[in-house]
Amino acid sequence: MKIYQNSSEPIYKQIASQIREQILTGKLKEGEPLPSIRRLAQELRISVITTMKAYKELSNEGLVTASKGKGYYVNAQDKQVLIEQHLRGLEKHLMDAIYSARIAGLGLDEVQQMLAALWEINGE
């Protein structure tokens, strides 16, 4: 896990985002434990409170569950919910791309061509 101290995104959000991605992509599977709060805090050289905040965010999203005295575990994920979460992420990235394209003075045709070229490069 990589944490960027100079990022505008808070550290707990960076942690939650990376764990969320691992869950949504299937790297972390149902029932798997997350690293203990203390261990992750030590590994990342951050506060236990910061790690707790990240885990609490994931818990509030229903991605993980706390087991008293045992830690946090990955919840079963509804396939439709996972698809919906991926679509929300895609939408956010596309909105960012549209914003950047407009600043650069690009039109829809140019953006579509760029997307098609990148799609091909990625092997799809």
11, pLDDT greater than 70: yes
Distance CA 87, CA 98 (A): 16
**CA dist list (Å): 20 to 39, 85, 89, 99, 106:** 18, 10, 11, 25, 33
> Among all chains, which residue has been given the structure tokens 């959000």?
13
User: Are the CB atoms for 64 and 74 separated by under 8 Å?
Assistant: yes
Distance CA 54, CA 56 (A): 5
Condensed to tens digits (0 to 9), the pLDDT of residues 66-102 reads 988 899 999 987 777 777 877 888 999 999 999 999 9
pLDDT value, residue 77: 76
- Report, as an integer, the average pLDDT of 105-110: 95
CATH number attached to the domain at 11-74: 1.10.10.10
* Packed helices 37-44 and 48-60: angle between N→C axes, nearest 10 degrees: 120
124, pLDDT greater than 60: no
Q: Where are the domains of the chain?
A: 11-74, 79-121
Mean pLDDT estimate for the chain:
90
Condensed to tens digits (0 to 9), the pLDDT of residues 22-60 reads 988 889 999 999 999 999 999 999 999 999 999 999 999
